[in-house]
Amino acid sequence: MEKWEKRICTDPEIMVGKPVIKGTRITIDFIIELLAHGWTQEQILENYPRLKKEDITAALEYSAQALKLETMYSF
């Protein structure tokens, strides 16, 4: 089991099945988007107190794993 699997789940009844941090409705893509827009981990944790630093790390690990499995095609 990957480390991120302990913190991330998918459920068709929650956020239409998007991967979320367990026990929340906070999606992995939302966390990545915040980081991409310059938010620090500390800012995310302040604004979303249900999250832990390990949740943000899990979101990054999940995203990295998903990108490793993605195939790109050149046209």
Give the per-residue pLDDT at 75: 79
Helix (H) or strand (E) holding 27: none
pTM across the whole model: 0.89
β-bridge partners, 31: none
Give the per-residue pLDDT at 14: 96
Q: Show the domains of the chain with their CATH numbers.
A: 3-69 (1.10.10.10)
Decide which of 4 and 70 is more confident.
4
Chain segment 25-70, per-residue pLDDT in tens: 999 999 999 999 999 999 999 999 999 999 999 999 999 999 998 8
CA 51 – CA 20 distance, rounded (Å): 11
Chain segment 60-74, per-residue pLDDT in tens: 999 999 999 888 788
Q: What is the DSSP letter of 3?
A: G
